[in-house]
Amino acid sequence: MKKIIAATDFSDAALNAVAYAADMAVFLQAELLLLYVYPLPVVHSDLPTTAIDNELMEESISMLREIKNKIKHRVSNAIPVQSEVKMGFFNEELNAISEQLQPYLVVIGTQGKTAAEKLWFGSHAVHAMQEIPWPIIAVPPSVSFSPLHKIALATDYTRLPENYVVEELEQLVTDFRAELHIINIGNHNNDHPETKSGMDIINKRLAHLKPFYHFAASSETDKAMLDFAEINAIDLLIILPGRRGFFEKMMHRSHTRQVVLHSSVPVMALHQ
C-alpha cells in the first residue's frame, strides 16, 4: 500500500497541505502519516530541560491527535491515518522517517503560522525540497486537491532525467491517468541541435507516455515556469533539484523561494 507523509506546523497553510494530502491519499488508496517536528527548545528557565521537553511533547501530541481525528472524519475512515511527533531538526527527522517508510511522496505547506515565519518558511520548504531525496510536493495555501490531469516537468535538456525520475514520472502519469508536459525554459528552442538531441533521448524513454513538448524563452526561469503552469492549467509542476547549469541557477534559494511561495499550483521536487 502506498504511503504519504504530510508534515505540519499547525499553521493554516500547513493544515491545508494536510487536507490536500488526505484527499490525495483517498484517491490513491494510500496510507497517510501526519508528522510534526518541533525544534529543540532553547531553555531560559529554572525548570529542568526534561520537564520542558515532556510538556512540549504532550502538547504537540494532543494538537496532532486533534488534527488526526479531523482528518479521519474528513476521509470517513476510508484509509489508515497515523500520526507521529518528533523533536529535532525538521529535515533530519523528515528524512529519517522517509527512509523508514519509503513514502510514495511527502506533502508540505509553503508558509508558516506567524507573520515572521511567512517570510522564511518558504526557504524552509525549499531546503527540504533541495536536501531530502524523496518526492516532495509543496502545496500553496489556497489549493485543494483534485485529480491531476496535467503534470509538467521543467527542464533545459542539459542533463537528462535518470532512471529514478523516469520511473516516478511513469508512476504519477499512470496513477492519475494524466497528460505529461515537458517545458524547456532557456535560450535554446526545441529546434536547437543540443536541445533536439536531449528531446530525442527523453522521447525514447517516455514515448509510451506521449508527452507534449513546449518551449519558453526566458532568463527569468521562475516567472516563466509559473506563467506556463497558469496559462496551461497545470495541476503539478515538477522540478529537478541538484542539476548543473540551468537548474543550479534556478535552484538558488531566492529563485526557488519565488517559485514555491508564488506558484498557484503545487510544486514537486524529484531528485536525480
Average the pLDDT over 124-143 and give the result.
85
CA distance 165 to 163: 5
Cβ partners under 8 Å of residue 163, min gap 6: none
- pLDDT single digits (tens) 58-114: 888 999 999 999 999 999 989 999 999 998 888 899 999 999 999 999 999 876 555
Spatial contact of 50 and 43, defined as CB atoms under 8 Å apart = no
Identify the band that residue 145 occupies on the pLDDT scale cut at 50, 70 and 90.
very high
On the question of pLDDT at 125 being above 90, the answer is no
Name every residue whose Cβ is closer than 8 Å to that of residue 87 and which is 6 or more positions away in sequence.
37, 38, 39, 40, 53, 56, 57, 93
pLDDT at 270 over 90: no
What's the pLDDT score for residue 46? 55
Q: How far is CA 215 from CA 53, 155, 172, 179, 225, in A?
A: 53, 10, 23, 17, 11
Mean pLDDT of the chain: 81
pLDDT, tens only, 188-225: 566 666 666 667 777 778 888 899 988 877 777 778 88
| pLDDT of amino acid 152 | 94
Q: What pLDDT, on a 0 to 100 scale, did the predictor assign at position 248?
A: 45
